[in-house]
Amino acid sequence: MDQDSHCTAERELLEAVSRITTFSTTSPSDKEENHPKAEISCQLRKENPGKDDLQDSNATLSPHSSMTTKELQEYWRNEKSQCRQVKLLFEIPSTRIVEHHLSKYVMYKILILQTGSFDSNKSVIERRYSDFEKLHRNLLEEFSEEMEDVTFPKKTLTGNFTEEIINERKLAFKDYLRLLYSMKCIRRSKKFIDFLTRPELHEAYGCLRGGQYTKALEILLEVIGLQERLTRGNPVSIVPTLCAIVVCHKDLENPASAFEYGEKALSRLHVHSSHRYYIPLLETMITLAYELGKDFLSLQEKLEEWKTKKDPVRIFSLKELAVREYVQ
């Protein structure tokens, strides 16, 4: 492709991104169900945005003349996906009774499906009654008005392990999750997202710290799809998980896969060069690009540009940052 054609292609991409951005900022991305009280409360939060709302706003990328054609294409794909409505369905198809030392409890298998995906994007997690109970308490603290009419299955003194009680709770928890997800301010809250992803991330990072990269990678790849669907309004929030996947692939000597996920993470940090993962990720990407015979000079230029603007400070490596995540 000659220089004129290359410039024309970039201009067309910029115009397309501009149209997509305009559409995504003027069109609602989610259609809410009829929950008047929740809608009113959520609207009040919109009029008085909190920290998370500001983060969502700041996380939105904007077209920039310095973006390369490849970065523009990645950004364009991200913006197009933002415009499409994503709706998740919750099913609880089965349970199992766990007996551990002196304790006994029921684990509920939760199947999370994306509508129209033909099960290709399903996620499977397990939670017990006490996990749901903790989520309910946490949400009541932050969303007391929205949660006012939300019922929660109470504990019983006896019969907790009977088939009848377990089946009742399966249906109750399914309806409970559906109702929570129908309220935008709750489904985008950190507490709700943590309930659906944090236990698996804890396990994955524990495996990573223990050098079990294959197991860690397996869990992280399961979680990342769900994280992406839950955090579409704040794409920067999944950067740590993407970087952990990069670390696992790199230590398992899969540089091509590591570079692929590194590009995904870097595209989300294009306008967030102050993010703690930006420079460690950039340094790792330079090493991978050199190893794979890819263009590393543009990445090196970004690194040098950052160094001229910032005061020298101690920066952890990407792996050092990853092993510090989810450390209690």
Is 308 in the same domain as 231?
yes
Is 225 in the same domain as 143?
no
pLDDT at res. 118 = 60
Write the burial class of residue 147 (CB in 10 Å: 0-12 exposed, 13-18 middle, 19+ buried). Answer: buried
pLDDT at res. 16 = 47
Is 113 in the same domain as 138?
yes
Q: Is residue 27 part of a domain?
A: no
Q: How far apart are CA 30 and CA 6, in angstroms?
A: 36
Q: The tokens 């294009």 sit on which residue?
A: 270
Is 320 in the same domain as 204?
yes
Is 182 in the same domain as 150?
yes
Q: How far apart are CA 22 and CA 294, in angstroms?
A: 34
Q: Is residue 312 part of a domain?
A: yes
Is 103 in the same domain as 172?
yes
pLDDT at res. 38 = 46
Is 203 in the same domain as 320?
yes
Last residue of a domain, one of 133, 161, 188: 188
Q: Is residue 9 part of a domain?
A: no
Quote the number of domains for the chain.
2
CATH number at residue 303: 1.25.40.10
Q: Which residues of the chain have a pLDDT value below 50?
A: 1, 3, 5-7, 9, 13-14, 16-65, 82-83
Are 197 and 244 a contacting pair, CB within 8 Å? no
Q: Which helix (H) or strand (E) holds 326?
A: none
**What phi, psi does 90 have (nearest 5°)?**
-115, 130
Q: Is residue 122 part of a domain?
A: yes
Q: How far apart are CA 82 and CA 22, in angstroms?
A: 12
Is 286 in the same domain as 319?
yes
Q: Is residue 28 part of a domain?
A: no
Q: Is residue 35 part of a domain?
A: no
Are 196 and 186 a contacting pair, CB within 8 Å? no
CATH number at residue 98: 3.30.1520.10
Is 224 in the same domain as 302?
yes
Structural Rg of the chain based on CA atoms: 22
Q: How far apart are CA 313 and CA 245, in angstroms?
A: 26
Q: Is residue 74 part of a domain?
A: no
pLDDT at res. 271 = 86
* Amino acid residing at 98: V
Q: Is residue 220 part of a domain?
A: yes
Last residue of a domain, one of 188, 208, 242: 188
pLDDT at res. 34 = 43
Is 229 in the same domain as 288?
yes
Is 183 in the same domain as 117?
yes
Q: How far apart are CA 179 and CA 187, in angstroms?
A: 10
The residue segments making up the domain with residue 121 are 87-188
Is 102 in the same domain as 172?
yes
pTM above 0.85, yes or no: no
Are 197 and 135 a contacting pair, CB within 8 Å? no
Last residue of a domain, one of 188, 217, 240: 188
DSSP string, 58-84: HH-----TT--HHHHHHHHHHHHHHHS
